[in-house]
Structure 1
Amino acid sequence: MTVILEATERRILQNPLENPEVLIRIVDDNQATCKSLQFFLEALGYEVRIWNDPELFLKEYKENEEDGCLLLDIRMPRISGLELHDILIKENFRLPIIFLTGHGDVEMAVDSVKKGAFNFLLKPSNEKKLTETIEAAVKLSIENHLKENNKTIYREVFDSLTPREKEVVRLVAQGKLNKVIAADLNITEKTVQQHRSVACHKLSVRNVAELVEFLKVLEG
């Protein structure tokens, strides 16, 4: 299972546009800027959605679970990009945020990145820089999503183990020998071997190294 998941991850991350659920979100009140960005990004193969009103974005974004990123302006009516960023932080917004603004300075950029923004770019942005930044943000989004999916899959598989099998594999992952585990759990070494064999089969792991990696993903 681990090998299959890793191969799938490599394919998607190497070709993020193969993922049909990638969406670039733009929140900017300047319609001309938005249309220009949309034309540019769609030419690169991305799906794009625009919000000219940050308040409307706050109402609607939860309906859009696709991977991707958010391009965010700063100067907007009612809610500034910086204020929107703070709101999204509190709401555990999971997508990378790229500030793209004509009204920024070094202090603002540093503060935004410290708060978790993926990058801070000034308009008009260099096309190569913008393309590379969005590509990196999308890859990060997909990578994070894959990790979360993997954790869900691993949890479901791990939960198929009996309580005793869970105890045994955790001790195996700690590097303990079967006879030591038997003593710790007050069972026979043969019973340990049986639990270990069945558990490893259920988890599709072939050795201790793969078991350790499995538990690392599960608990990461």
Structure 2
Amino acid sequence: MTLGECIYIVDDNEMTSQSLAFFCESLGYETKVWNDPEEFLETYPTLDKIGCIVLDVRMPKKNGLEVFAELKEQKNKLPVIFLTGHGEVRMAVHALKDGAFDFLLKSPEEKELIDVIERALRLSSDLKFKDDQMAYDQKRFDSLTEREKDVVVLVGKGMMNKNIADVLQISEKTVQQHRGSACRKLNLINAVEIADFLRKLKGNQR
């Protein structure tokens, strides 16, 4: 368990949601409960902790699949675990194919519930680490001057300093200065590391 993890429970049945929250809290996790899915969707943008969403499939105002679709529109990265009855398994399987993390039949065995939640929280933590690294890499790149960026991009394409100087119409010595300054800011050593850094940065921006 990691400090700051939270299990977000969305279930219109107050007894079921409170029972699940009590069980999760007994394991040391923080929980937040919504019995109204629309209220949850209104609150969702303010959620600021890694965790997972436990989402009931059948709810009167807005069913779990509709909530899940809206979460996807908001670029949700929290793993979603569906709670489903026997007659809703096909719906849950469809949600899995659409990106849900897993589904549990009501009422799940304690061991099964713990296993799914722990896996979902590990994924959430991994995604948060990746997002933080992406933001850090972008910040490092943004710290470069425009000319340093020009040089770095051309280095990443495998060009030698002399060729870069010709393309940018500056001296080779100036290219070396910009390249050295950029490498210090990016904490990179050679062209291979620069190319790898730019490749990851480009992939993160898709």
Query: Same fold judged by TM-score > 0.5?
Result: yes
Q: Which residue of 2 aligns with 1:172?
A: 155
- State the one-letter code of the partner of 1:45: G
Q: Whole-Å Cα distance in 2 between the matches of residues 116 and 190 of structure 1?
A: 51
Q: Whole-Å Cα distance in 2 between the matches of residues 92 and 61 of structure 1?
A: 11
| Secondary structure of 2:153's aligned partner | helix
8 Å CA contact 1:68–1:138 kept in 2: the answer is: yes
Q: Whole-Å Cα distance in 1 between the matches of residues 139 and 91 of structure 2?
A: 43
Deviations 1:50-97 (A, max 9, x none): 111212212222222211110011122221112222222233333111
What is the CA distance between 1:105 and its match in structure 2?
4.0
Cα gap change, 1:104 to 1:145, in 2 (>3 Å): farther
1:215 equivalent among 192, 198, 203: 198
- In the comparison of the two structures, how many residue pairs are matched? 203
Cα gap change, 1:140 to 1:193, in 2 (>3 Å): same
TM-score by length of 2: 0.87
Deviating 4+ runs (over 6 angstroms): none
Q: Which residue of 2 aligns with 1:141?
A: 124
1:108 equivalent among 86, 91, 96: 91
Summarize the alignment of residues 45-124 of structure 1 with structure 2, pairs less than 5 Å apart.
45-124=28-107
Cα gap change, 1:19 to 1:104, in 2 (>3 Å): farther
Structure 2 residue 18 is matched with structure 1 residue 35: yes
Q: Whole-Å Cα distance in 2 between the matches of residues 158 and 75 of structure 1?
A: 46
Cα gap change, 1:19 to 1:180, in 2 (>3 Å): farther
| RCO higher in structure (CA 8 A, sep ≥6) | 1
TM-score by length of 1: 0.82
Q: Whole-Å Cα distance in 1 between the matches of residues 45 and 178 of structure 2?
A: 43
| Secondary structure of 1:142's aligned partner | helix
Summarize the alignment of residues 123-162 of structure 1 with structure 2, pairs less than 5 Å apart.
123-162=106-145
| Secondary structure of 1:18's aligned partner | coil
1:199 equivalent among 153, 157, 182: 182
8 Å CA contact 1:157–1:202 kept in 2: the answer is: yes
Q: Whole-Å Cα distance in 1 between the matches of residues 19 and 189 of structure 2?
A: 52
Cα gap change, 1:43 to 1:216, in 2 (>3 Å): farther
Cα gap change, 1:174 to 1:26, in 2 (>3 Å): same
8 Å CA contact 2:10–2:35 kept in 1: the answer is: yes
Q: Whole-Å Cα distance in 2 between the matches of residues 73 and 199 of structure 1?
A: 50
What is the CA distance between 1:104 and its match in structure 2?
4.2
Cα gap change, 1:115 to 1:197, in 2 (>3 Å): same
8 Å CA contact 1:74–1:103 kept in 2: the answer is: no
Cα gap change, 1:208 to 1:127, in 2 (>3 Å): farther
Q: Which runs of 5+ in 2 are unaligned?
A: none
Moved more, 126-135 or 165-174: 126-135
